Amino acid sequence: MAGFAAHEQRVAVGAAERPDLAASIRPARNSELDEIAGLFAPALAPYRGGVQDWILDAYLAELVDVRPRFEEAEVLVAEHDECIVGTIAFYPDVRLEGWSNLPAGWAGFRALAVAPRTRGTGIGQALVRRCIQRTREIGAETLGIHTISLLTDAVRLYQRLGFVRCPEFDMRAADVFTSDNADDMVGLALRRDVESPGTGRKS
């Protein structure tokens, strides 16, 4: 049931952005499910208040059910002062997400969230970089994700980290999250090619 939670690498993050905030990235523990689940509603709150709230409602209902992700993903957390301030789920094969149409063999991640009090400190970037690193470590060549344009901060973060659009894998959000209020919102597909270890190329 613990999935990949035994993977015990810690990475220091955040200090360069704000000296008083130093966090570490580590695998999540089963005992932390409630603490992880509590990150998602505050992280999505700034995007609420429009006709597209239906997708946030549906997405949140899925995100707070953390336990199933332990089966297929490496659920990671960022910790500061013994509190969890961020999380992400890395999939060695993006098809393990269950609904993704991205090619088998690509790695993937989802369920990125950072506590509002620590936004802007580099924690979200560090969590995504950790997934890029894991993609390289497992020998996958591409890290693929879906997002929506409504999540503007996330889209900007992915672009800064070298993700590019691959619209041939776009999906209708309503095909993933059913709702009586579903509209024609599109799940945007992005990819980030990752060099193998020892190539000498920067990534």
Considering the chain, what is the average pLDDT of its residues? 85
Q: Based on the structure, what is the number of domains in the chain? A: 1
- Structure tokens belonging to residue 186: 């599109």
The answer to whether residue 70 sits within a structural domain is yes
The answer to whether residue 120 sits within a structural domain is yes
What is the CB-side half-sphere exposure of residue 30 using CA atoms within 13 A? Answer: 8
**pLDDT tens profile 104-159:** 999 999 999 999 999 888 999 999 999 999 999 999 999 999 998 889 999 999 99
Domain residues for the domain of 184 are 11-193
Q: For residue 90, give the H/E element and its range.
A: strand 83-91
The answer to whether residue 201 sits within a structural domain is no
pTM: 0.84
The answer to whether residue 3 sits within a structural domain is no
Packing angle, helices 123-138 and 152-160, rounded to 10: 50
What 8-state DSSP symbol labels residue 94?
G
